[in-house]
Amino acid sequence: MRRGWLHQPTIRHTSTHVPNPADSSNVFDYERALQACAEGDRMALQSIYQHESRYLLGVALRIVRQRQQAEDVVHDAFLNIWQQASRFDAQLGSGRGWIYSVVRNLALNAVRNGARQVSVDEETTAALENRQAVDAHTDVEDAFAMRANLGQLNDCLAQLEPARRNCILYAYVDGCSHGEIAERTQTPLGTVKAWIKRGMSSLRTCMGGLAV
Amino acid sequence: MSGPEETQETQELASEYVLGTLSAARRREVEQRLPTDAALRAAVSTWQEQLLPLAALAEPVEPSTGLWRRIELSIAPEPASAVARKSAATGWWQSLNLWRGLAASGFAAAAIMAAVLLRQEMAGPAAPGYLVVLVAPQSQAPGWVVQAVQAGGSQQQIKLVPLGEPGRAAVPAEKSLQFWTKADGWTGPVSLGLVQPGQTVQIPLDKLPPLQANQLFELTLEPANGSPTGRPTGPIQFIGRAVQL
């Protein structure tokens, strides 16, 4: 069973992407749905929910890690989408990207504000630096199976060393802080921070740079 | 000073904001800069688009059957923006849905957090009967707290206290922060005057009915001398409802 929306990675800079017409998410017009929400059309909000709620809940759950809290995030996100649809700016990005950002930002704010118990704080983790550092450049397993079609992003991620790639994915997908990633990967905190910084910089170069 | 270094800083901040590795304080900092910093806004939007495919790595999870109903109830009974559109004379602020929604979403958590922060504040001589935590609508970050102070007799005052970074965030040039309140049953919000970011103000409520539970308070961004219409015209910066203590 294909997860339709995976096949439309919504990367605006990709000109080679060919939409699959059989894919329902390709025909769902997120920008139009948001416009309708801004005009008070509740059916439009419901159609977004029908298309995306299970994926959005999946994204929220990975970050907050508690089912009820994840549902609260999705609930709050749909209220935000409803109330702020008129502020969506199609010049800056896709409607679908905006919707996911609303969910991720609420989930990340919740965990960064302390809603999720973190077993090791950054200071404790920093002490790891005093221990013998694990040579993470060797024998690193890919923590994430790249089954999904990530388009150009996939190629760019593939160019990163697995250890750096894992750090970026732990952060984005699991909502891990620097300290949590250091703990998970048994890597000194400073190293994790540097890997992420350089990894993101490499990604940016690979993705064709960002307009500033 | 604008140059390559600033661009670099903007890029790094945007990338880690979208990635999610910033602390709560730095996330708030970014969210405060976004409305006025076009370069940061563009960088954040681009990263959001570029990393979006990674969202596919989270397995889909079927929501509870009641979740849509919950959302529906929160936006009921009538769409806020439709009300605003119907008539320019009745402003968006009359839509109860908007107020309800804003106050409901994530509000409890923020209130608890702020109540903890406030414990020292409340150790003063006059214990407030009500507490209102004003949060930013998008981020839910608490920015201000309203305390009701019984100043002897029937005269009532309220105190508006900034909380941390969000309460100190500067407003754009030629703009001001205007403070409003609206209790259930009032026809519209009443202005409580202009406030300065980061500054505590005490306001007598002698011309208003006593504070009541659920009463709404908000700070909106208005022209430098305040709203020209006597009603809120600009975006809500912070909003919350009175909770009886």
- Taken in order of first residue, the domains within chain A and their CATH numbers are 4-115 (1.10.1740.10), 122-206 (1.10.10.10)
SS3 A9: coil
The CATH number covering residue B208 comes to 2.60.40
Residues B171 and B230 in one domain: yes
State residue A14's pLDDT score.
Answer: 35
By DSSP bridging, strand B156-162 and strand B190-195 are unpaired
Residues B41 and B127 in one domain: no
Q: Which of B146, B229, B154 is nearest to B183 (CA)?
A: B146
Residues B52 and B112 in one domain: no
Put simply, whether B32 touches A (Cβ < 8 Å) is no
Does B71 contact A94 at a Cβ distance shorter than 8 Å?
no
For A54-85, write each residue's pLDDT tens digit.
Answer: 999 999 999 999 999 999 999 999 999 999 99
Put simply, whether A99 touches B (Cβ < 8 Å) is no
State percent of chain A over pLDDT 70: 69
State residue A64's pLDDT score.
Answer: 94
CA distance B102 to chain A (A): 8
Put simply, whether B43 touches A (Cβ < 8 Å) is yes
Interhelix angle B24-33/B38-51, rounded to 10 degrees, is 120
For residue B64, is it within any domain?
Answer: no
Put simply, whether B71 touches A (Cβ < 8 Å) is yes
Contacts of B12 in chain A (CB under 8 A): 197, 200-201
State residue A192's pLDDT score.
Answer: 96
State percent of chain B over pLDDT 90: 27
- Rounded CA-CA distance A60/B73 in Å is 21
Give alpha helix (H) positions in B143-212. 164-168
Put simply, whether A118 touches B (Cβ < 8 Å) is no
Does B50 contact A80 at a Cβ distance shorter than 8 Å?
no
- Give residues with Cβ within 8 angstroms of A100, minimum separation 6: A56, A59, B48, B52, B55
Does B63 contact A11 at a Cβ distance shorter than 8 Å?
no
- Rounded CA-CA distance A141/A139 in Å is 6
Residues B222 and B154 in one domain: yes
Report the residue from B24, B79, B137 with minimal CB separation from A113: B24
Cβ under 8 Å to A: B residues 108-167: 109, 113, 137-141
For residue B179, is it within any domain?
Answer: yes
DSSP A115: I
Does A96 contact B83 at a Cβ distance shorter than 8 Å?
no
Beta bridge partners of B159: B147, B202
- Rounded CA-CA distance A25/A15 in Å is 18
For residue B50, is it within any domain?
Answer: yes
SS (H, E, C) A25-66: HHHCCHHHHHHHHHCCCHHHHHHHHHHHHHHHHHHHHHHHCC
B193 compared with B209, residue with greater pLDDT:
B193
A118 pLDDT higher than 70: no
For residue B240, is it within any domain?
Answer: yes
Residues B221 and B156 in one domain: yes
CA distance B133 to chain A (A): 16
Report the residue from A41, A74, A169 with minimal CB separation from B57: A169
State residue A209's pLDDT score.
Answer: 53
- Rounded CA-CA distance A22/A27 in Å is 9
Does B79 contact A41 at a Cβ distance shorter than 8 Å?
yes
- Rounded CA-CA distance A177/A165 in Å is 15
Other Cβ atoms within 10 Å of B176 Cβ, number: 21
Put simply, whether B61 touches A (Cβ < 8 Å) is yes
**Residue A135 corresponds to which amino acid?**
D
State residue B175's pLDDT score.
Answer: 83
Residues B116 and B213 in one domain: yes
For residue B47, is it within any domain?
Answer: yes
Put simply, whether B199 touches A (Cβ < 8 Å) is no
For residue B98, is it within any domain?
Answer: no
State residue A49's pLDDT score.
Answer: 97
**Average predicted confidence (pLDDT) for chain A:** 78
A9 compared with B105, residue with greater pLDDT:
B105
Does B21 contact A196 at a Cβ distance shorter than 8 Å?
yes
For residue B136, is it within any domain?
Answer: yes
**Average predicted confidence (pLDDT) for chain B:** 77
Q: Which of B235, B239, B210 is nearest to B222 (CA)?
A: B235
**Contact call for residues B99 and B216 (beta carbons, < 8 A):** yes
Report the residue from B53, B61, B75 with minimal CB separation from A42: B75
Domain count across chain B: 2
Residues B42 and B127 in one domain: no
- Rounded CA-CA distance B105/B74 in Å is 9
Does B138 contact A101 at a Cβ distance shorter than 8 Å?
no
Residues B140 and B221 in one domain: yes
Residues B115 and B228 in one domain: yes
- Give residues with Cβ within 8 angstroms of B89, minimum separation 6: none
- Confidence label for B106 from pLDDT (cuts 50, 70 and 90): low
Scanning every residue of chain A, which has its alpha carbon at the shortest distance from the alpha carbon of B107?
Answer: A76
B38 pLDDT higher than 60: yes
Question: What is the complex's ipTM, to 2 decimals?
Answer: 0.78
Interface probe for B, chosen from A30, A52, A82, A146 (most Cβ of B below 10 Å), is: A82
Interval B240-245 mean pLDDT: 81
Q: Which of B142, B140, B139 is nearest to B131 (CA)?
A: B142
Residues B138 and B20 in one domain: no
For B10-36, write each residue's pLDDT tens digit.
Answer: 999 999 999 999 999 999 999 999 989
Does B105 contact A75 at a Cβ distance shorter than 8 Å?
yes
**Residue B132 corresponds to which amino acid?**
V
**Top mean-pLDDT range of A134-143, B143-152, B200-209:** B200-209
Scanning every residue of chain A, which has its alpha carbon at the shortest distance from the alpha carbon of B108?
Answer: A72
Lowest mean pLDDT among A187-201, B7-21, B196-210: B196-210
- Rounded CA-CA distance A168/A176 in Å is 9
Put simply, whether A35 touches B (Cβ < 8 Å) is no
For residue B87, is it within any domain?
Answer: no
State residue B147's pLDDT score.
Answer: 81
Sheet holding B175-182, edge to edge: B190-195, B175-182, B216-223, B236-244, B130-135, B142-150, B156-162, B201-204
Domain that holds residue B20: 4-57
State percent of chain B over pLDDT 70: 73
Residues B44 and B119 in one domain: no
Residues B215 and B125 in one domain: yes
B77 pLDDT higher than 90: no
Give alpha helix (H) positions in chain A. 24-27, 30-38, 42-64, 67-84, 95-110, 122-126, 152-158, 162-174, 178-185, 189-206
